[in-house]
Structures are given as structure tokens and as C-alpha cells.
Structure 1
Amino acid sequence: MNWITLGLLTGTLMASGEALACEPLPMTGKKQGHFDASGKLCFTLPVVAENYVTAELSGAIDAGLRRGEQPYRELLRHGPSEGNHQLLFALPHQQTTTLHLSGKPNQPWSLSWHIRAATPLERRQTPAPVSPTLQRLSARLAAGESSEAFWRSIATRGTPLIEPYDARHKRVTFLWRGDQRNVYLFGSPAGDQVPLFRLADSDVWFRSFVVPADTLMQYRFSPDVPAIPDSPLAQHRAILVNAQADPLNPRSGKPGSHDRWNHASLLDLTRQRDCTAAAMAHPLTAGALTRSRFYSDRLDNERDIQIYRPHRAAAWTLMLFDGNVYQQEQRIVNVLDALIARGELPPVNLVLIDSLDLARRAQELTPNPVFADVMAQELRPWLSARGLPLHASHTILSGSSYGGLAAAWVALRYPQLFGNVLSLSGSYWWAPKGEPASWLTREYQRAPRQPIRFWLQAGTFEIDGPDNGIYLNNLEFEQVLRSKGYPVSFHPTASGHDYSGWCEALVTGLRHFSGPR
């Protein structure tokens, strides 16, 4: 699961000058009610010292914190009103904060919350740095100098600190300035999350890695991660309490976001990319995007389906799981439209399938026969009725993480309808409760070979997690497919579990399928 998708938020809950009477909340409790005709609610939260908050929210579409009249941190944006959302965050220390909710007028809402005092984990390791720049700084600090000149230099050049290593690699040092008890790096080249080290007793925190010279990855910092006694999983997730963008890195992994809590910073060592800021800002000129609501009888739920159609006839259709997130995070429609407009990609239809909330995403995108039936027996006819008939040999199922897993599963269940799978960091470690890992890989091993083509991608930094990590899971899946005689290719990239790497891989895979055979 990609935890970066827990917050996709920007800070636009209330119009300027609009005021609500805010009801005070205690440290813990539960409330429920109905939105009034304005569809807005406001609560004043306790003034506390170091803290973290766990909350469950249902019935709301947007939720965010404010300090005075200024947005502080978004917690939910464009969530389905019928969804249940698990929130984990911290309140600013010793400051008055208000929680603002918005939803559909006259619809029910429910909020339960628990505000707890936080004790940061102690992580003050001080190993000697391997970065030549930090080695020189260490010597100056030992001689009694301050770090001020170093930080002025870093502010000018930006972070991370990049130094030569060899012809195919760079040494990258992530840097944080402050006097925290700990600082964690979320989305590291080591796999998942790792602590930074403190340079002596200075305000310099660091962690160095040797990475390929074409690395592209998103990352965030989390200072003062609290000790959470609930469970190992809760402690693992605690990095989200304070996870935020790198304040010294101007490059963002998400276009147009200025909320430091809800976007990641970008490390880009590549020479050429397709998913650039300019491509994401490209106005649609080669096609048009429409949004509709799709209701499933089998699932008894409703979701957004966005459909992009080029002005010229398209032979290929790409169906993308987590489609709304791809458009919010990477403006995937704008990127593809720019490529089509320049003739660098043939016309392609794009169907963006929303995954609702995290709970239903986990239910639907892990191998679920009902969801596969919906794709084949409900969504395909629905698209055809809107002038978008699908042909198996020219239909591509795609997604990342659980979405990659779902693409391979739906194709196996309906190979006569979906003939191509473009899987990005597919979660092939998944298995039903009580069964060994890599269930879908075994299903492909057992089943007769079907008329499906595969293009698989995984990041070489995805080496942590269940069943030895996603990179090895995908390598195993590719080997099984090849042994069965499937047309398959595997494409490792110097990236992690994030949308920047996935966007580039999606374009490359789409070129593979839609180009000359």
C-alpha cells in the first residue's frame, strides 16, 4: 500500500470571509449528526503540547485544520461521503486549532477522535558521515565553528545534497535542519522508512545513499515521530503524523501543491522525463475529458469514471485503476494529451476508474471475483453505451500497487475481454488470509496460458515489505509468466513506491503496447 495516498489535500474548505461558530471538543469522544443546508461544520480543538491524534470520520467530503483564518493542514479532500476515513495527524503545539468539515447538505456525519500526549522516539545515532561535504563540515564543527555557512550554501543549491560517486551512480545525502529528537525519511532508497543521523550535537541531520544516476523518486521527512504503544503496525504508521515535504527542496512530486503536509519532494537525477511540470500544466488540445458517475449493482456503490477521448480516432483504450489519484497527483490526462498532440504517442482513450476510499480499495483491487465481474459485465457495457466499445486485443488494464495486482487478476478471469496488462509495482505478495504469499502468481502457474500480454515494472528501491518486497515479487511473477509462454517484459526502474516513477513507467509501457508490433 502506498501511504502517500492517505493525504491528497490542498486547503480550500471555506471561502474567504466565511465564518462558522465552532463547537469545542474535549480530548477524546465521538459525535454525529447531519450537515445543515450549508454543508459545513466547525470544531475548536484543545490547546496541547506534543501530541498525535487518531480519528475516524464518515459522511464528510473534505476535512482540514485551520489556525485562525489560515489553512494549516488538509486531512481529507474529495472523499466519497459514504466512505469511512482513518485519520492520523498532529495539532500545532500550544496553539488554537479548528477542525472544519464539509459534506452534502442534510446528510449524516460521524466523528470519533482521541488526542494523546506524544513522546518522541529516541533516535540520535551519530555515525561518521561518508559524504565528503559533511566530513569537511564535521571537522569545522569540531573546531568550534557553527553550521550557518553550511546551511546558507545548502539553501542556495537545494536538497538533497548530490555528489559524484562513479560513472553510473551518485551519492545522495538527505538533509534536515532542526533540534528534533528524531527525524525519519519516508520513501527511502533503502526501501521504506529509515531514521536520519545527527551530526555530533549540531542541527544537521543526514542520511547518505549511493543510487543509480537515473534515479527518480519521491520522499518526505517526519520529525519527532511519536512512540505509539498500540501495536507494531500503529508504530509503523506513526511516521504519517508529521510526514511533510523537504523545506529546502523546491521540486515537488505533485503539481500545484503548497501544503507541506500533503505532497512529497522529488529527487530527479534523470536526463529526460515525460511527466514534467510543463506536461502536467499542458491544456488539453488533442482531446477532451469528461466525468460521469457509474453505479454498480453488484457492488452497490457509485464512483467517478473520467473518460479522455482524443479528437482523432483511437485504436487503443487504457483503463487505469486509482484514476482520480493519477489525475490529482500527476495530471496523467494532460501528460498523455501533450504527447498525442506532439505525435509522440498515437491517439489513446483513457478510462480513469476511481477507487473510493482505502477500505474499499483494499476489498476491490485485491483479487475479488465480484469486482472482476463488474469490470466485465457492468463497466464494459456502460462504456459501450457511451460510445466507447472495447476490443480485447487493444484494451490495456493498468494500475499501481493493488491496482497492478487487480489488472493481472481481472485479465486472468476475463482474458477474452482484457488482453493486455500494464502493471506498476504490482502487489503480487498478496494472498487471502491463511494462505501463503504470492497467491496470484500461483494461480497463473496453475491456469492454462491465456491470450494476455504483460508489461511489468517495479522500483529497485522496493525491497522492503511482505514476502521480501515488491521488486522480488514482480521478478518472480515475470519468471512464472515467461515459463508459461506469456509475452512478458520486466522493467526495473531506479524508483520507489510512488506516482512519479509510476507515471514515467506508464507512458513507457503505453508506448510499448500502442506502438508497432
Structure 2
Amino acid sequence: MILLCQGIGLHQFTHAESIHDKNHRLVYASPCEAVQPTSNLLINLNKQLATVPESQRSQIIEQFWNQITTIQTPVVEKLSKSSSRVIYLWRGAKHNVRLVGGPSNDHEWLTRIPNTDIWFKEVIVQNDFIGSYSFAVDIKNVDGYLSNYCPHLNTELKESRQQRMALRDSFQFDAYNSKRLLDKDINGLRNENILVLDQAPKFINPSQYAKRSLQLKTLNLKSNILNNERKITIYQSIKKQPEQSYITAIFFDGNEYANLLQVPKALDILVEQGKLPPIQAVFIDPIDAKTRPKELTPNTDFSNFFQTEFLPWLDQQIERDAHKTVLLGSSLGGLSSAYIALENPTQISHVVPLSGSFWWQKEKSDEPNGMSRIIRNQALPIKQHWFISANSYETSRAHNELSILNTSPIVANDLKSKGQDVVFKTYTGGHSYAVWQIVVQDALQHFFGQHPKND
């Protein structure tokens, strides 16, 4: 396949024709400059660069970055009452830049403006968008894929999983965005900035409130079934009336929710504002990145751990009302929260799968997906209350693959057909904790706020 990349010329490569230097090392293609900007910001910059002598180009570029320092990134150009163009920018990469997160289901490539240090990606989004993102910069060339000009524009080239995973080693913050969502998660992989457009859902953002004293305790729980030990953090709000019973919210991926998103602080504020009754939250940490998918994919061992070890242990630490116990999780945690809740209907009354990985299939014959097959093959005599969410950019990267966005409403409808109380809601965003922090608050207030929906 032949591609024309501006500033590079005509070249033809196949996936087998990786470029090597004289020492047989993989080398990088020149930065792909095939995509033309459509934003006013960059069109005007290109006009300036085209009208000044070569000796003045560096001054124009420096003035541009000074402007960006002032206005911050991503730059938002409002197009209408409902949509805006968002311009993501990176300065000075040598080989490549990818946008990880943001308004996409994939890792999008940035384009360099020819003969500058300016890399960009433009996206049109709805004005209620909220999302987090990182940049992967100068990703290691693993198997020659990055030696091809504009590989992402060549449909004949297939990026290997090994090459995709290589970007984890090059995550960086946006230097021109002072707003951060996450800073180095438990596995050291996550550096994320945040973008919130003006019509995004309102929520309690803990970072905007003063520091407060919280009732938190951290304990360790050893499992004989799983043969491992994990950290459990428990938060309790203050009771204004001693006779009140607590809501109990149990979170998978506890470190992210307890520490990075500061959910205890957000819940404390909601209780203080009278938007939630007294609540206690329990945060279950994963063992590590390798063990997490094994545990949170529906399986008998983790279900037995939850039912026969975790819940009895928890009931020794706190007073828990089984009719006011919520299980929450995102991604694989959302899949597991649905499965574990169905396995424990007398102990879990409310369920919040946030962007649950309902594309999961235990067997290829599981249709329309693994969780739907589980639901359809059993009676559900006990009514539970569900708040299921999926986000607008959680589509599949290939049209023949299942996605979170298309499987979540199927799972919701299957539960409804079994007599369950189900709310399904979509949010404008990607696969991101930026959205999930909002969904957590929406779901808990839906269940237990001034106008509770459960019966």
C-alpha cells in the first residue's frame, strides 16, 4: 500500500519490510505529517509560518507555546451549543506521540506540523464530555511497526499486542495542563490529566474542598482460598443520629477509589450536605496487575473468597445492613461486581457496574456475551437494584468485536426481563476514572438520596 505523508514523500513498505540500520537495529520512520489541522488555532499558526522568512519561524513557534502556556491545554474551540473541537498538543517528541484516553476507544496518534516541534490531535466532542488522558511519547519500536510511515493510516499493517503494551513505559503528563486526575497508581502505570467541558455532569470534586479529618482504618485480609493477602480500607461517615444504620459501599480496585479519586472525602461531603445518609465504604485492593484479571473475571475461587472469607470478616469489623449493601466496580471490576452480586443476592442489595467488561466470554459460544448467558440461565427470585453505566467512546476497535457500549444495555435488559430493578445510563466520555467518579455519586444518590428509587 502506498501512502503520501507531507514532508516525507512517497514510500512503500509492508509489515515484513521493517527498516533496520547497518547494525540491524530497528529504526523509526520520520514523523508522520499526513493529517492537516482544521482548528482555527493551528490553521492561523500555519498561515503565520508560511508568511515569515525561515529566520523568523522559531520566534513564531516560541510565541505559540507561550500562548499555550497561558491558555492551557487541551485547547477548546466551541463550535455550537452542543459540540466543541478539542486540540491536544505535545511539544518536542523525536519519533511519535500517542494520546492514551481522552475521547477515544483507542490510542490515537498525534501529527507533527512540518518543521516544528508541535504535535497535535483534534477531536470534536459533545459539550458534556469529561475525560482523562496521558501522552505516550517516543514509544519503543518493538517489532518494526513504527518503522513504517504513517502506520496508523495503513490498514494492512497490524499492531502487535507487544507493541501496544510498549507505550506503558512512556506515559507522561501534559506539561501544559495543570489539572491532574491520577498520579502514579498502585502499579506505577497511570499519569493522567483531566478535561471537563462546561456542560459535563456536576459532581463533588474532592480536590476543590479543604482537607478534612476522616474516619479511616486500613487492615490486611489473608485468604486461604486464594492463597494471598490484600489491603482493605474502611471509611465511615459521622452519624448525626445514633439509631441510623449505615449504607455500605464495597469497591473493587480499592486503591484507585480510596486514594487517587478520594472517594471517602467525596462521600463525607455528600453526607455533610445532606445528599446521602450515613455511609461506610470498603475498598478492596487488587493483589497486583497480573493477578487482578484472574480474580475479577467470573470464577468460583474468587466468588468463594468473597462469600466465605471476605463478608464474614467484614461483618466482624463493621455493622452492615445487607439490605443497604452496594457492590461497585469498574471495567473488570464492573464485570465481577455483577457476577458476585448475582452469586450473593441475600448479601448484596445494590449493584453498580461502571463500564463493566461485558464483552467477556468464558467460551466463544457464549452469546450474546458471557454475563448475559449467566443471567439467562438462572432464576433471579430476589430483586436487586442495579445502576449500570457505559460511556460513549467505549466501542470496540474492530467492528466484529464485542464492546462495553453495546453489551451493557443487553445485560441491563436481561436483568430487567428477570424482574430486577435496573437503571441504564450512558455518559459522554471514554474508559476513564474521570467519568466513574461521577457515576459513583450519581448511583448512590439515585439509590439512597432524597428520592430513593429502591423499594
SS at match of 1:283: coil
Aligned residue in 1 for 2:283:
352
* Structure 1 residue 188 displacement after superposition: 3.2
SS at match of 2:171: coil
* Structure 1 residue 484 displacement after superposition: 3.1
Matched AA of 1:141: L
Aligned residue in 2 for 1:299:
226
Match of 1:404 among 327, 334, 337: 334
Normalised TM-score (structure 2): 0.81
Aligned residue in 1 for 2:177:
249
* Structure 1 residue 270 displacement after superposition: 4.2
Match of 1:139 among 28, 31, 47: 47
Question: Contact 2:358–2:408 at 8 Å: present in 1 too?
Answer: yes
Seq. identity, %? 30
| Equivalent residues in 2 for 1:42-191, closer than 5 Å | 119-120=27-28, 123-144=31-52, 145=57, 146-191=60-105
Aligned residue in 1 for 2:320:
389
Match of 1:284 among 213, 223, 229: 213
Aligned residue in 2 for 1:369:
300
Question: Contact 2:180–2:192 at 8 Å: present in 1 too?
Answer: yes
Aligned residue in 1 for 2:148:
none
Task: Note closer, same or farther for the CA distance 1:175–1:398 as it changes in structure 2 (3 Å cut).
Answer: same
**2:166 pairs with 1:238:** yes
SS at match of 1:249: coil
**2:117 pairs with 1:212:** no
Per-residue Cα deviation, 1:44-80 (whole angstroms, up to 9, x for no partner): xxxxxxxxxxxxxxxxxxxxxxxxxxxxxxxxxxxxx
**2:262 pairs with 1:335:** no
Per-residue Cα deviation, 1:223-266 (whole angstroms, up to 9, x for no partner): 21222129811111121121111011111013799xx9842111
Per-residue Cα deviation, 1:404-447 (whole angstroms, up to 9, x for no partner): 11110011112122121111110011122555472112111222
Structure-1 separation of matches of 2:373 and 2:263: 33
Question: Which structure has more strand as a fraction of its residues?
Answer: 1
Matched AA of 2:224: D
Consecutive unaligned residues of structure 2, counting only runs of 5 or more, are 1-23, 145-158
Q: Which runs of 4+ in 1 moved over 6 A?
A: none
Aligned residue in 1 for 2:416:
482
Structure-2 separation of matches of 1:121 and 1:444: 49
Structure-2 separation of matches of 1:284 and 1:358: 31
* Structure 1 residue 218 displacement after superposition: 0.7
Structure-2 separation of matches of 1:122 and 1:483: 55
Structure-1 separation of matches of 2:311 and 2:137: 47
Matched AA of 1:132: N
Aligned residue in 2 for 1:6:
none
* Structure 1 residue 163 displacement after superposition: 0.4
Question: Contact 1:224–1:242 at 8 Å: present in 2 too?
Answer: yes
Question: Contact 1:411–1:418 at 8 Å: present in 2 too?
Answer: yes
Per-residue Cα deviation, 1:12-41 (whole angstroms, up to 9, x for no partner): xxxxxxxxxxxxxxxxxxxxxxxxxxxxxx
Structure-1 separation of matches of 2:161 and 2:75: 32
* Structure 1 residue 389 displacement after superposition: 3.0
Structure-1 separation of matches of 2:258 and 2:410: 30
For this pair of structures, how many residues does the alignment match? 396
RMSD: 2.3
Structure-2 separation of matches of 1:256 and 1:295: 26
* Structure 1 residue 143 displacement after superposition: 1.6
Structure-1 separation of matches of 2:291 and 2:90: 36
* Structure 1 residue 150 displacement after superposition: 1.5
Aligned residue in 2 for 1:31:
none
**2:386 pairs with 1:457:** no
**2:365 pairs with 1:430:** no
Matched AA of 2:61: S
Consecutive unaligned residues of structure 1, counting only runs of 5 or more, are 1-115
Structure-2 separation of matches of 1:295 and 1:117: 47
Task: Note closer, same or farther for the CA distance 1:139–1:196 as it changes in structure 2 (3 Å cut).
Answer: same
Structure-2 separation of matches of 1:119 and 1:277: 43
Aligned residue in 1 for 2:196:
268
Question: Contact 1:321–1:354 at 8 Å: present in 2 too?
Answer: yes
Aligned residue in 2 for 1:311:
238
Question: Contact 1:121–1:182 at 8 Å: present in 2 too?
Answer: no
* Structure 1 residue 131 displacement after superposition: 0.4
Question: Contact 1:384–1:390 at 8 Å: present in 2 too?
Answer: no
Aligned residue in 1 for 2:433:
499
Question: Contact 1:121–1:224 at 8 Å: present in 2 too?
Answer: no
Task: Note closer, same or farther for the CA distance 1:389–1:327 as it changes in structure 2 (3 Å cut).
Answer: closer
Report the more deviating stretch, 245-254 or 201-210: 201-210
Structure-2 separation of matches of 1:219 and 1:155: 18
SS at match of 1:374: helix
Structure-2 separation of matches of 1:261 and 1:337: 28
Structure-2 separation of matches of 1:122 and 1:295: 52
